[in-house]
Structure 1
Amino acid sequence: MKRFLPWIIGIGLVIIIGLWYINVKNGAIEVDQAVKKEWGNVETTYQRRNDLIGNLVNTVKGAADFEKSTLTAVIEARAKATSITVDPSNITPEQFEKFSQAQSGVSSALSRLLVSVEKYPELKANQNFIDLQRELTSTENQILTARTRFNESVETYNNYVLKMPRNIILSEYKEKALFKSVAGAEKPVEVKF
């Protein structure tokens, strides 16, 4: 029995190391999938906003003799934003920059539209317009929540794949970029009537 003891201990260690290795790999898959899911939620909320913008533009068009340039800017910004996609499995800061710039364009055009609407009291009293404004406000809050949850899942992922000794086993998993605010977001928005 004593001569088999080193073999039993060796086999036991191999099994323990093998199980640990499998656990580390499975954990990496779980945190990677969580990041992809949260990015899907971010895209879904942006899509909801883009869908609402179409309804808002049509309501504004129908209710007011409106400045065409403002409506055109909103429509173009929406089209540009929907044309940019980000691959959640290989998120880079450059992809985020393009995506953020496009979404910033939508936000900016939308703000100009809503500020311009102040000139039209009959539009502000229109129930469809009021409902759409509420939906847009709700959607913007959902976008904030989705981006926050995405960043939390990226933080969990990055901590998991970058810490020792897992980073040795998970060398094929690269650090993912966080969602950051667009340049100038720290400045207050100036609203003019």
Structure 2
Amino acid sequence: MKPDRRAVLVRAALNAIEAAAEARGWDAYPALLGLFDSTTHTETVGSLDVEELPIDREVWRLHTSPGVGVTLPYRIGLQAITDTLTTVKAPQLQAWVRAQIGPVVAVAFLGEGLDTSDAGRQAVTHGLPRDGVPVRALTAYDIDGRFYQMLRVRGADTTTTTILDDPSARIQATAIAASLRRLLAAARV
């Protein structure tokens, strides 16, 4: 599959993922997703198959620590998962990828609760209002090095989509982007 065609299919898959999340409503657990090329076994142009990595939901409970009064961002759980899946459990990640319909072409993270009041840093980075409204973020990296991000402010009718063919070092260094790149690299070994 050509890189330009792959970018179109990844974006379409991400749109479908976010639309399904919006239809289910808010307050869902995060999801770590693999996007797979389902056209490798046919001659016709198809689409991408999306599968959720089987992550123990208890990992996401790191986000809220009852009684402590501290809410940790979901990226902390994602980093813990990444550290496990790219080191200790890398063979399990690779076995999961091999069990899919085709090769992995992207890895995505869907999470809610990006709080736009977080000292303004995330709001400025993503061009969001600084009023404390939660945001659903769907972030992905593909095998061509493209960075994708779809953001939906809670209550909004539309999403804001960013696709960068050559993401800056600043974006690549963010916790979620770095985790996705590491997971994609480990899945492709």
What TM-score do you get using the length of structure 2 for normalisation? Answer: 0.28
State the structure with more CA Rg. Answer: 1
Larger helix proportion, structure 1 or 2?
Answer: 1
Larger strand proportion, structure 1 or 2?
Answer: 2
What TM-score do you get using the length of structure 1 for normalisation? Answer: 0.28
Structure ranking higher on relative contact order (CA contacts 8 Å, 6+ apart):
1
